[in-house]
Amino acid sequence: MRTPIVAPSLLAADFAEAGSALRTVEESGAPWIHLDVMDGRFVPNLTFGHKMVADLRKRSKLFFDAHLMTESPESLLDGFVDAGADAITFHIEACVHAHRLIERIRAAGLKAGISLVPSTPVSSITEALRSVDMVLVMTVNPGFGGQRLIPRCVDKIAEIRAFRDREGLSFDIAADGGVNQATAPGVVAAGADILVMGSAFFESTDPAALVRGISALAMPGS
Ligand code: DX5
Ligand code: ZN
C-alpha cells in the first residue's frame, strides 16, 4: 500500500540550528526535507542559497526537495545540482521555457517539479505535467510559513489528480502551505502524495507521532 510522504520544511526551523533540525527530521521517520529557497523578488522574503544546501548535504542522507521561489530558476539550477539536491521544483510563473528547464533538471539526474501559486490555474501547467516527476501545489501564497491553507487550492489538487488518472501519467502531487493534522486528511483525500509541513512539524511536541499519523492516512486508489 502506498502511504503519503511527509516533507518537513526547514523554513519553520531555527536556521541557526539547521543541523539539529536535520536530525529532528531524521528521527521523526520522515524521509524528505523540503528546502524553501526565496530570493526576495519572486516572493517578499529571503532564505538561503546553494551553500546552505551543500553544507546540509554533508550531514544527511534525507531526500533533499528544493523548492525555488525565485526569478530565473534556470540561472540557479547548476548551483543546486552541485549542492546535492535530489529534486528541484520551480514555479511556472517564473519560467517561460518550462519544458527546457524540466529536461535540464532530469538530464542532471534529479527529479523535476513544477509549482503554481494559488492564483494560477491548473490549465497553465497541463503541458508541463506531461514531463515532470512532481507538481507542487501551493496551498497558500508562497513566501511565509504558518499561513492558513486556502481550501480552493485543494480543489486544484483534485483536478490535477483527475488529469493524472485520465492521461495515465505518474507524477507525484505535493501540497505546500498550511498543511497540518487537521487539514492533511482532506489534502490526501484530494489526491496528494507528498505533504510539505513547516510549522506543524517543527512546532509539534512529538514529530514522530505526527509523521506516523499522516503516513497512516488512506490514499485514494491505493
Ligand atoms: C511557503 C513555503 C512552505 C512553507 C510551509 O512559501 O513554500 O514550504 O514552509 O510552511 P507551513 O507548513 O508552516 O505553512
Ligand atoms: Zn515550499
Q: Does the predicted model carry a pTM greater than 0.75?
A: yes
What is the CB neighbour count within 10 angstroms for residue 24?
Answer: 18
> Is 221 domain-assigned?
no
Sign of torsion, CA 49 60 94 179? negative
The pLDDT value given to residue 222: 65
Tell me how far the alpha carbon of residue 165 lies from the centroid of ligand 2, in angstroms: 25
Q: Is the pLDDT of residue 203 over 80?
A: yes
Q: Do the Cβ atoms of 218 and 197 come closer than 8 Å?
A: no
Q: In 3D, which of 84, 31, 96 has the Cα closest to residue 57?
A: 84
> Is 120 domain-assigned?
yes
* Cell digits of residue 218: 488512506
Q: Which residues does ligand 1 sit against, CB inside 6 Å?
A: 9, 11-12, 34, 36, 67, 140, 142-147, 176-179, 196-200
Q: Is 36 a catalytic residue?
A: yes
pLDDT one-digit tens code per residue, 57-82: 999 999 999 999 999 999 999 999 99
Q: Is 86 a catalytic residue?
A: no
pLDDT one-digit tens code per residue, 96-143: 999 999 999 999 999 999 999 999 999 999 999 999 999 999 999 999
CATH of the domain at 22: 3.20.20.70
Ligand 1 atom closest to the CA of 142, numbered from 1: 6
Q: Which ligand is located closest to the Cα atom of residue 144?
A: 1
% of the chain exceeding 70 in pLDDT: 100
> Is 81 domain-assigned?
yes
Confidence band, pLDDT 50/70/90 cuts, at residue 204: very high
Q: Do the Cβ atoms of 96 and 135 come closer than 8 Å?
A: no
Q: Do the Cβ atoms of 122 and 156 come closer than 8 Å?
A: yes
Active-site pick, 39, 65, 133, 176: 176
Active-site pick, 14, 36, 155, 206: 36
Average pLDDT over residues 201-215: 98
The pLDDT value given to residue 111: 98
Q: Is the pLDDT of residue 1 over 90?
A: no
For residue 168, give the DSSP letter.
T
> Is 188 domain-assigned?
yes
pLDDT one-digit tens code per residue, 14-32: 999 999 999 999 999 999 9
The pLDDT value given to residue 2: 87
Q: Which domain holds residue 164?
A: 5-215
Radius of gyration of the chain (CA): 16
Q: How many domains does the chain have?
A: 1
Tell me how far the alpha carbon of residue 126 lies from the centroid of ligand 2, in angstroms: 21
* Cell digits of residue 177: 502551505
The pLDDT value given to residue 221: 84
Ligand 1 atom closest to the CA of 45, numbered from 1: 6
> Is 220 domain-assigned?
no
> Is 222 domain-assigned?
no
